[in-house]
Amino acid sequence: GQQLNQSPQSMFIQEGEDVSMNCTSSSIFNTWLWYKQDPGEGPVLLIALYKAGELTSNGRLTAQFGITRKDSFLNISASIPSDVGIYFCAGHGFGNEKLTFGTGTRLTIIP
Amino acid sequence: GAGVSQSPSNKVTEKGKDVELRCDPISGHTALYWYRQSLGQGLEFLIYFQGNSAPDKSGLPSDRFSAERTGGSVSTLTIQRTQQEDSAVYLCASSPRGGQGYTFGSGTRLTVV
């Protein structure tokens, strides 16, 4: 089945630093999504990407849908304490209604 | 409702007992999904509903797991004869139609002791 490899698994950064994480797939996806999950909550959609090559920003967040349709990255600029959490990439394959999720990147901000 | 509502938020049950988890999707959303998240892990797909039918139930781990949806709205996930490995957070999500980004509920944390 489809699998998403997400890296890094965890990140320890200082407030104000920029963050970058990415996902790769063994097969083509036609939609890429990035979610953030806070403790005790369900994942919340951050950015959705629908076209190969698409670059989309949402405030300090920027994400891109890779040209090959097999990868995506998420960048967070000038991190702040509320950015702490787990970030998941997710994608829809062609003709596939369900989302396949990556294994997550846990972001921690060091005081 | 305004968001996806799940109940109970926490459930502790004895091994071998049956449990029912409930999901109220966003009003008007025709697609409903159940996922399972084990501690520190990603989300594992269980089942997808479009209206009241389940075109994809490929993720249900065993025949102890079943789900239904009535009136194109509320869904119930039932786990029979619970085992310790069933302990996880069960997340429900809905979307206006299949193939779009979902809105998730806060989940039900199930602990089997």
CB contact under 8 A, A104 and B106: no
How many beta carbons lie within 10 A of that of residue A6, not counting itself? 21
Quote the minimal CA–CA distance from B64 to chain A in Å.
Answer: 22
CB contact under 8 A, B42 and A40: no
Nearest-Å Rg of the Cα atoms of chain B is: 13
Measured between beta carbons, the chain A residues lying within 8 angstroms of B91 are 42-43
- The whole-angstrom separation of Cα A98 and Cα A82 is 29
Q: Is B75 exposed, middle or buried (0-12, 13-18, 19+ CB in 10 A)?
A: buried
- pLDDT exceeds 70 at position B64: yes
- The whole-angstrom separation of Cα B83 and Cα B113 is 8
Give pLDDT, residue A111: 81
Give pLDDT, residue B41: 77
pLDDT band at A95 (very low <50, low <70, confident <90, very high): confident
User: What average pLDDT does this structure show over B23-49?
Assistant: 92
